[in-house]
Amino acid sequence: MFKAKINVTLKESVLDPQGKTILNALGTLGINGVKDVRVGKYFVLNLDTSNRAQAEEHVRKICDKLLVNPVIEKYELISLEGEGR
């Protein structure tokens, strides 16, 4: 079993209205020193495999095919933990 943790965010070149709104809200709250806010999605996948390389390949395929829209989004595999080679 492997546990994959993935972050999906809008590409840097794409305006993130949610992030912008949060940044503005921080300002209104008097919390300064934040330069930028980006909002994303976080996925946790439990994979039924004992092969690390296979798990990673699988995760990348899932991201490319479904979890991420490459026109606006990018992803980062932040961890892949589990037992196996």
Partner 1 sequence: MKAAVVVFPGSNCDEDCFHALRDVAGAEVRYFWHKEKNLPKCDLLVLPGGFSYGDYLRTGAIARFAPAMEAVARHAREGRPVIGICNGFQILLEAGLLPGAMLRNQSLSFICDHVFLRTETAKSPFTNRLEKGRVLGLPIAHGEGNYFCSPDTLRRLQDEDRIAFRYSSTDGRLGDEFNPNGSVDHIAGILNEGRNVLGLMPHPERAGESVLGSEDGKKIWESLMA
Q: Is there binding between residue 37 and partner 1 (CB under 8 A)?
A: no
Q: How far is the CB of 1 from partner 1 (least distance, A)?
A: 24
Q: Which stretch binds partner 1 (CB under 8 A): 16-24, 44-52, 56-64, 75-83?
A: 16-24
Beta bridge partners of 10: 73
Asked if 57 contacts 77 with a C-beta cutoff of 8 angstroms, the reply is no
Please give the size of the binding site for partner 1, defined by CB under 8 A: 11
Q: Which two three-digit tokens encode residue 39?
A: 């909002």
How would you list the strands of the sheet with 73-82, edge to edge? 40-47, 2-10, 73-82
Within residues 44-83, the interface with partner 1 by CB under 8 A covers: 66-67, 69, 71-72
Residues that bind partner 1 (CB under 8 A): 10, 14-15, 17-18, 21, 66-67, 69, 71-72
